[in-house]
Amino acid sequence: MDATQGFKQTIERWLYPELAKIAPHHRARALEKARAESFDFLEVACILAAIVTVTYLTRYSLKDAGVVDRLSAALANFVVALPQLLLFAGPFFVRRTRRGLRLFLDDQRRA
C-alpha cells in the first residue's frame, strides 16, 4: 500500500466511523453504495445555500478590464472559492455518505 492509499483510508476512517463496523473487503462496495444515496431536502437546501454564500463572498467587479485581466481574476476567484465550497458544502456530502453507510449496515443486519 502506498502513502496516498494509506492517507485516503485514514481520512475515510476519520470521516466515516461507521466503516469500522464493516468488513474490510466490503468497505469499497459500502462506500460506493453510500455515495450513490440521494440527498435529502436538508442537504440539498444547505448545499444550495453554501453555493450562494460562496458566490457572494467571491464576487468581483472588473468594469473596464481586458480579457486577460478578467481571466486572471476568474482563475484567482476559483482558487479562493474552492476551499470555501469544501468548507461550507463538504459536510453535507459527508452527512449523506454517513447516512448511506448506516443504511448499508441496517441492510447487512437484516440479511
Say yes or no to pLDDT of 34 above 90: yes
Mean of pLDDT over the chain? 91
CA 39, CA 96: separation in Å to the nearest integer? 6
Element (H, E) at 59: none
Q: What is the pLDDT of residues 64-76, one digit of tens each?
A: 778 888 888 889 9
Nearest to 97 by CA among 13, 25, 4: 13
Q: What is the pLDDT of residues 38-92, one digit of tens each?
A: 999 999 999 999 999 999 988 877 677 788 888 888 899 999 999 999 999 999 9
pLDDT at residue 1 in the model: 60
DSSP 8-state secondary structure symbol assigned to residue 92: H
Residue 5's identity, in one-letter code, is Q
pTM over 0.85: no
Question: Which of residues 54 and 2 earns the better pLDDT score?
Answer: 54
Nearest to 57 by CA among 96, 28, 85: 85
pLDDT at residue 108 in the model: 86
CB 2 within 8 A of CB 66: no
